[in-house]
Amino acid sequence: MKKKILCSVLAIATALCGLTGCKGDSTNNDDPMSGKIVFTIWDNNLLTYIDENDMVGKFKEKYPNAEVEVEKIKDDTEYWNSMKMRTSANQLPDVMFNKPFTLSRFKDYLLDLSDTEAAKNNTLAKGYAIDGKVLGVPMTAGYEYVYYWKDMFEEANVEVPTTWEELKTVSKTLQDYYSAKDPDFMAIALGAKDEWPDYPYMEFMPALVNGNGQNWNDMAKTDAPFAEGTDINIAYHRVYDLFTSGVLGKDPLGLSKDQATNLFAQKKSAITALGDWGLQDIKGAAENVDDLGTFYLPVRESSSEPFRYVVQGDSFMGVTTHSKKPELAKAFVEWFYSDAWYPGYINYVSSASSMSNFPKEKDPILAESDKAQPDGVAVMYDGGGDDFTALQNETTFDYKKLGSTMLTDGFDLDAALSDLDAKWKAAREKLNIK
Amino acid sequence: MSSLAKKRRIFIIVALAIPVLLLVCFVVVPAVDLIRMSFTNWDGRSADYDFIKFDNYVSMFNNKDLWRSLGNNAVYFCVHLLMIPIELAFAVLLNSKLKAAKFYKTMVFLPYIINGVAISYAFSYFFSPVNGAFDGILEAIKLGMLKQNWLSDEKIVNFVLAFVSLWRFSGYHIVLFTAALQSVNHDIIEAATLDGANAWQMFRYIQTPSIMLMVDFILFDNIRGAMQVFDIPFVMTSGGPGYASSTFTLYTIKTAFTYDNFGLASTMAVAIMAIIILIYVVQNKIIHGIILKGDK
């Protein structure tokens, strides 16, 4: 009998617990500034800074009833894969990041942040608005640099190049000079095995040829964007000439980005093109960086053309439509870009500030690029909208893979571009893109 | 029906219900859904998609890069298949009264339990064109003239990757063969020994037929593994240069995640299932219907 009573009590308790959802915390569901939000990142530097500076605790000081769960995903490739799967399952985190080329893919799942102070104070956010909505606030302003060793340039008696032809000549001179002593030397360290490290050339150069940051979107409006005389055709021919001139060393396809950066840091290479984030990688691998310098990739054909370099918003912080606490998530974005957090973070990383209210002096090594080109023209890069992305997917146009394929035997660039034109035309017709 | 028979029937039904339910939930339903998705143009994110009949299947059959990738899978399949008799021979050796047999078994099994991604990273550096250990070994033994671009030469890259795959999985096969050999009835072996069977005859007519079930399993595992190989080419070469070392699975994942075409990727997943079954049936027919027919 006792057992029966005990069982009944337990059963009632279980049922009650189930009905009430076993709520153990004291969160007030009616308060929009209480509860938990998930903030998903991929950046190792950001994670280190968050841990070392107790971001979660500091946010809680401002919003005592709020919790932030920081979720780290291995790298950005894995990040997009994960976000795509979560989108289909209605499981996006409350706060997520985007890149310029992913904004249009996730535009239906991001809330408009136009009315936030973070967006208003951001120098780049409005430039990336889609249909007038700011869907993400760039955490940094991203610049691309060519890193080089000054002492190696001096020894080989070459100057910093200011045109594409000069870059080719300088690279060739460096290759000839140093490979006589070291057969493993490469004038330009690329890491083409990973494919993506060729992005400074393959992704940005078409936009820099004529200063058209909307190049990808304009390509979507034409049937033959790869034809002779187009920006992309000109850019890829220049890249092909450089890549096949022997300045990437004996086997660029056999080396990964990490290996290439390490070899550059050990001065087994004189030049490497990376984003501003690359400075931290190089500093981490090099014994000292006293002789490290930078210049912007000189894409122009002659010095009579304007010198153009690319700038883009990077790491667009956005609030997703799947968030159950959108007000709290927006408050987190506001807090992140406020005096309480952003100045410390932006000074910790090598990237430039994207906030007008928190300007940051560039690292002296990176500032050398601006000194070398005081009249340089910044080209605001757009990663491509819906139409371009749809065409890219339909034609399987992978510019990073194309760059590494240029290094294979028997590759015919004109045939490859002509094939892409045919696919592009068919895709526009199929997808009814005007 | 007697009470005992009734209870037995209930027990059998209950015992079967759970695995069948799990199988239906986690294998049958996803497989059916995969086939359904293979007829759509779903991009992996949107709530909406269209049924596009056989467009994905037509697109798949016209995709040269995909079939080139499948050709690369064939390299793994053939290399592993050729190694199976050698693995079996090793297992027989380790099953004999060899000194320190346990140590050797541990050593050959070790690569299998190491994380595949870690192995791939290690071999990337091993075959690196600059400061690579393999080139260093060739230099040390005065064979420097044999140095190659191991990971970027389209003619050899798949064999290099298949070698890494062999290094990782051969030990697993050897241990499975060893376990099967240990289960062979000792009476039969003793009888064969008394009848004067030599080592080769023992291996050919007693041990091999006795472990045929395990041989079948390893042959099937070889097909499945070779057709679905992913981590080694993904880490070591990203499928490159171009698509020279891409595999069917690598291409399928790229289609889904890089090109946002989950519908076409589902079609490829259906195709690889069909290919695995087809190769298994053909292989079984060849081995049991032709090669081993004489033994029956």
Is the same domain home to A290 and A351? no
The parent domain of residue A301 ranges over 143-311+367-431
Q: Which residues contact B27 (CB under 8 A, 6 or more apart)?
A: none
Is the pLDDT at B291 greater than 90? The verdict is no
- What pLDDT does B102 receive? 83
Tell me: do A238 and A355 sit in the same domain.
no
Q: Which residue is closest to A393 within chain B, CA to CA? A: B259
Please list, in sequence order, all residues whose beta carbon lies within 8 angstroms of the beta carbon of residue B120, skipping any fewer than 6 positions away. B164, B231, B232, B234, B235, B236
Question: A253 touching B, CB under 8 A?
Answer: yes
Q: How confident is the model at residue A337, as a pLDDT?
A: 95
Residues of B in contact with A109 (CB under 8 A): 45
Is A393 in CB contact (< 8 Å) with chain B? yes
Residues A245 and A274 in one domain: yes
* Dihedrals phi, psi of A25, to nearest 5 degrees: -90, 165
CATH of B54-124+156-295, one of 2.40.30.10, 1.10.3720.10, 2.60.40.1080, 2.60.120.260: 1.10.3720.10
- Residue recorded with tokens 């298994």: B280
Instruction: Clarify whether residues A98 and A191 are in a common domain.
Output: no
Nearest to A69 by CA among A55, A49, A88, A48: A55
Q: Looking at the structure, tell me whether residues A191 and A284 fall in a common domain.
A: yes
How far away is chain B from the Cα of A103, in angstroms, using its nearest Cα? 14
The model's pTM is 0.82
Are A300 and A267 part of one and the same domain?
yes
Q: Which residues of A touch B44 (CB under 8 A)?
A: 84-85, 87-88
Q: Which of B274, B237, B224 is nearest to B61 (CA)?
A: B274
State the pLDDT at residue A18. 47
Higher confidence at residue A294 or residue B185? A294
CA–CA gap between residue A188 and residue B62 (Å, rounded)? 38
Q: Residue ranges of chain A with pLDDT lower than 50?
A: 17-26
**Dihedral Cα B232, B238, B244, B249, nearest 10 deg:** 60
Q: What is the pLDDT of residues A398-413, one digit of tens each?
A: 999 999 999 998 999 9
Residues in chain B: 296
Same domain, A148 and A286: yes
pLDDT of residue A3: 56
Distance CA B262, CA B252 (A): 9
With 80 as the cut, is the pLDDT of residue B1 above it? no
- State the best of A87, A101, A193 to mutate against chain B, taking most chain B CBs within 10 Å: A193
Nearest to A195 among B46, B125, B238 (CB): B238
- DSSP H/E element including A283: helix A278-285
List residues of chain B with CB under 8 Å from any CB of chain A: 43-46, 65, 124-125, 127-131, 149-152, 154, 237-238, 240-242, 244, 257-261
Residue pair A420/A398 in contact (Cβ under 8 Å)? The answer is no
Which chain A residue's Cα is nearest to B59?
Answer: A394
- Report chain A residues whose CB lies below 8 A from the CB of B45: 84, 87-88, 105-106, 109
The answer to whether A253 contacts B259, with C-beta atoms less than 8 Å apart, is no
With respect to residue A6, please indicate whether it lies within any of the assigned structural domains.
no
pLDDT at residue A25, rounded to an integer = 44
Size of interface A-B (CB pairs under 8 A): 84
- β-pairing, A352-353 with A377-380? unpaired
CATH of the domain at A274: 3.40.190.10
- The answer to whether residues A104 and A154 belong to one domain is no
CA distance B250 to B235: 11
> In Å, how far is A390's CA from the nearest CA of chain B?
9
CA-nearest residue to B151 within chain A is A254
Chain B residues closer than 8 Å to A81 by CB: 257
**Who among B65, B237, B259 is closest to A193 (CB)?**
B237
Verify whether the Cβ–Cβ distance A184 to B131 is below 8 Å: yes
Tell me the chain A residues in contact with residue B69 when contact means C-beta distances shorter than 8 Å: none
Per cent of chain B over pLDDT 70 is 97
Q: What pLDDT shows up at residue A8? A: 56
Q: Are residues A255 and A131 in the same domain?
A: no
Mean pLDDT of chain B: 90
Instruction: Establish if A78 touches chain B: CB-CB under 8 angstroms.
Output: no
* Number of domains into which chain A is organized: 2
Of B124, B241, B257, the CB nearest to A81: B257
Q: Are residues A173 and A116 in the same domain?
A: no
Q: Which residues of A touch B43 (CB under 8 A)?
A: 393
If asked whether residues A102 and A187 sit together in one domain, one would say: no
Distance from CA of A282 to the nearest CA of B (A): 18
ipTM > 0.95, yes or no: no
- Residues A82 and A174 reside in one and the same domain: no
- For chain B, give every domain's residue range: 54-124+156-295
**Does A408 contact B151 at a Cβ distance shorter than 8 Å?**
no
Which residues in chain A have their CB less than 8 angstroms from residue B130's CB? Answer: 184, 249, 251, 254-255, 259, 263, 268
